[in-house]
Chains A and B, each alone.
Chain A
Amino acid sequence: MSTIPLGPVLDTAHAPGDGARVVEPKTPALLLTNHHHLCPGCGEPLAIRAIAEAIEDLGLVDTAVCALGIGCYTSFGSTVDIDLVQCLHGRAPSVATGVKRMLPDATVFTLQGDGDMVNEGLQEVLHTAARGESLTAVLVNNGVFGETGGHMTATSVLGQRTKNTIEGRDAEYHGYPILIGDLIAQLEGAAYVARGSVHNAGAVARTTKMVRRAFETQRRREGFSFVEILTMCPTGWFIPTGEGPDYLASTLGEVHIMGELKADGQIRTTEELHAENVRKAAELEAQLARGGLED
């Protein structure tokens, strides 16, 4: 289990005063079907939902165009009701650039996996950010090539077992993972950079907020916006389906720390986010020790 809380810590010691109830129906209207072809326990549908909800909440539906990468999530190209430009592996940021330059009023976003963006297309996303293209890049990062069956990517963490790092990723032999958000945050053209996750309800809520902020950044034409979303891949991680969220928190989540890496002109490194999370965790523990959570 992680020692670092990756989402809000809820006091679950007592039952809530009012029972659970449906406040409003929450099936995203942008889905053409509720069916998908992904594995049980996959985190990508939650990430797609976060994007769809952010677009709906901001009233941007009839301006939305997606430049989609190649990975498991590609199957959503046919089930999400958004104008789509399917891209080759790694190329979505350049394609989105062409779309946005011809349609300056559209809400243009890419959706890529870590293999697509951080392996194959690393220079494309960096150049697009440096150019300050007014578009949003969304990365679904599970630290593995899920579609090929669980192979190491540039974001796989040290020690992670994959089909081509059977004994675990070894820095000396396989090199170190790339913290893509940190790289992008350093670029002048990047206006908003955040890293979220979908391993628990709190994380999903925070991530949806990040996606919303990214789209708002685009609408204000402030520059390039980027949201990385850590997603579960129990199939590619070779673990039981139900263990996905905990595995995410204790492996990927320990390295690719959740938080806003660049917002309102302020850059924060993953190390700083880590330190902040540790401090917050200590504070929360102290509050709990004092008898309950403060507001």
Chain B
Amino acid sequence: MTTTTTPTRALMEGSEALVRAAILADCRFFAGYPMTPFTEVLEHFAALLPDAGGVCINAESEIEAVGMAWGAVATGARAATGSTGQGLALMQESFSEATLAELPLVIFNMSRSQGDYFQATRGGGHGDYRHIVLAPQDVREGVALVQLAFHLADKWRNPVMIYGDYLLAHTQEAVSVERVEFPPLPEKEWAVDGSRSGTGRSRSVTPLGVTKVGQRHFGQEGKAQYIATKMAHVEREARAESGFCDDAETVVVAFGSPAKFVKYAVAQLRDEGLRVGWVRPITLWPFPVDAVRAATRTARIVGSFEISSGQLVDDVRIAVAGVAPVEFIGGVSSDHSGFGLGRLLDVDEVRERIRALHEGRPQPPVPGYEEFTYEPAPHQLAPTPEVTP
């Protein structure tokens, strides 16, 4: 992986840097519907795509946005859509079927917290499918991963999601948006343009198991098997990085913006002499099982720090596979709007949670939410009768 173009650092919002990276990666179509904190991604595409010879449509709904991107991708163009949790929930039918149609669609997910980890990695839609999910820790890495997203989407003919958050989308960083060069990919023989209509060799971009008469026939179950066996190969794209794990007794796993806080807090604790380390999945799917296992091999306890009620922790437990206990050390924490990240995302808070894990003490409460702890009513505590005959 080499870079070209003269690096010129400029202070810009994360959203703008991601959009400029997408355009550098030859993205020529975007359709989206405004929703915080994703809105600025749409704004920058609307502002920048026309001058790049592309099109940005302010779609009338998320469902229409993903449909438009579906059509653009089917012509062989690099195209994307995006939103945040609820808007992405509306798009899920298209995401799952786009996987069956082998559409290299890129999705910008600027999430409101990390509580959409399951939506992103488990597939919020129907059926048996997976998406590659890339989680940049900051704007600089986002610029590279957006370009990687378009490359991987075409390489595997599979949707790829960028999992960002409020912080990534809105932080101003001095960043240089440089083109990342990737190995060449085959021509998109499958893409439609009308030129083969009437020749007996017309093309068919479809999630269904049927193709044109005389072409390879899958059937629904054959198509499902074909996609499932493709996914096994996509697993080689897993990426992660780690630090201080050679002799770590305590290892913390985190992704996205919070991982940057974890890395900083772990470095502080190392200065104090605590044997702690960190590992950061860069791809949420495929989950970097081998890297997490390697990073935690000396650990006597593993923590999952995430801004949610505990979702990433499931994948960490699968990866660690019982070698060490895995504890959830994050929590639900947003700003008062519900859109941004809350008081838990603070170096002191993060450091004290890692320290508590390392010292075997219970986790401190998530700041600001003590009064909202759920108290079950008596009828809820009463046992529910058995009904199985």
Docked pose: A55 CA to B29 CA in angstroms? 28
B154 to chain A, nearest CB (A): 15
Please name the residue on chain A nearest to B81 by beta carbon: A98
* Interface check B73, CB cutoff 8 A: yes
Chain A residues numbered 79-105 whose CB sits less than 8 Å from any CB in chain B: 79, 81-88, 91, 93-103
* Interface check A46, CB cutoff 8 A: no
- Among B71, B197, B210, B213, max chain A CB count under 10 A is at B71
Chain B residues numbered 61-100 whose CB sits less than 8 Å from any CB in chain A: 61, 63-75, 77, 79, 93-94, 97
Residue of A99, A101, A103 near B57 (CB, 8 A) is: A101
Say yes or no: A98-B194 contact (C-beta < 8 A), given A82-B202, A84-B203, A88-B93: no
* Interface check A9, CB cutoff 8 A: no
Q: Which residues of A contact B97 (CB under 8 A)?
A: 88
Chain A residues numbered 233-281 whose CB sits less than 8 Å from any CB in chain B: none
* Interface check B48, CB cutoff 8 A: no
Q: Are B71 and A96 in contact (CB under 8 A)?
A: yes
Q: Which of A63-71, A139-147, A148-156, A208-216 contacts B (4 or more CB under 8 A)?
A: A63-71
Q: Are B74 and A98 in contact (CB under 8 A)?
A: yes
* Interface check A30, CB cutoff 8 A: yes
Say yes or no: A32-B198 contact (C-beta < 8 A), given A87-B67, A99-B72, A101-B57: no
Residue of A81, A97, A98, A101 near B197 (CB, 8 A) is: A81
Contacts between the two chains (Cβ within 8 Å), count: 157
Residue of A75, A98, A123 near B68 (CB, 8 A) is: A98
Residue of B60, B197, B210 near A65 (CB, 8 A) is: B197
Q: Which residues of B contact A33 (CB under 8 A)?
A: 213
* Interface check B207, CB cutoff 8 A: yes
Please name the residue on chain A nearest to B214 by beta carbon: A32
Please name the residue on chain A nearest to B97 by beta carbon: A88
Docked pose: A100 CA to B213 CA in angstroms? 25
Q: Which residues of B contact A85 (CB under 8 A)?
A: 70-71, 74, 192, 205-206
Docked pose: A29 CA to B199 CA in angstroms? 10
Q: Which residues of A contact B192 (CB under 8 A)?
A: 65, 83-85, 99
Q: Are A77 and B61 in contact (CB under 8 A)?
A: no
Docked pose: A288 CA to B234 CA in angstroms? 74
* Interface check A287, CB cutoff 8 A: no
Residue of B68, B197, B203 near A95 (CB, 8 A) is: B68
Chain B: number of interface residues, binned into ranges? 35 or more
* Interface check B208, CB cutoff 8 A: yes
A214 to chain B, nearest CB (A): 17
* Interface check B59, CB cutoff 8 A: yes
Q: Which residues of B contact A30 (CB under 8 A)?
A: 197-198
- Among A88, A98, A101, A123, max chain B CB count under 10 A is at A98
* Interface check B308, CB cutoff 8 A: no
* Interface check A49, CB cutoff 8 A: no
Say yes or no: A81-B199 contact (C-beta < 8 A), given A86-B205, A99-B71, A101-B72: yes
Q: Are B195 and A62 in contact (CB under 8 A)?
A: yes
A241 to chain B, nearest CB (A): 26
* Interface check A127, CB cutoff 8 A: yes
Q: Are B63 and A91 in contact (CB under 8 A)?
A: yes
Say yes or no: A94-B67 contact (C-beta < 8 A), given A77-B206, A86-B207: yes
Docked pose: A101 CA to B205 CA in angstroms? 17
* Interface check A107, CB cutoff 8 A: yes
* Interface check B169, CB cutoff 8 A: no
Q: List 6 A-B contacts (CB under 8 A).
A: A83-B193, A88-B67, A88-B97, A94-B63, A94-B68, A98-B67
Q: Give A residues with C-beta under 8 Å from B.
A: 29-30, 32-33, 61-65, 67, 74-75, 77-79, 81-88, 91, 93-103, 106-107, 123-124, 127
Q: Give B residues with C-beta under 8 Å from A.
A: 28-29, 31, 55, 57, 59-61, 63-75, 77, 79, 93-94, 97, 101, 192-200, 202-208, 210-214
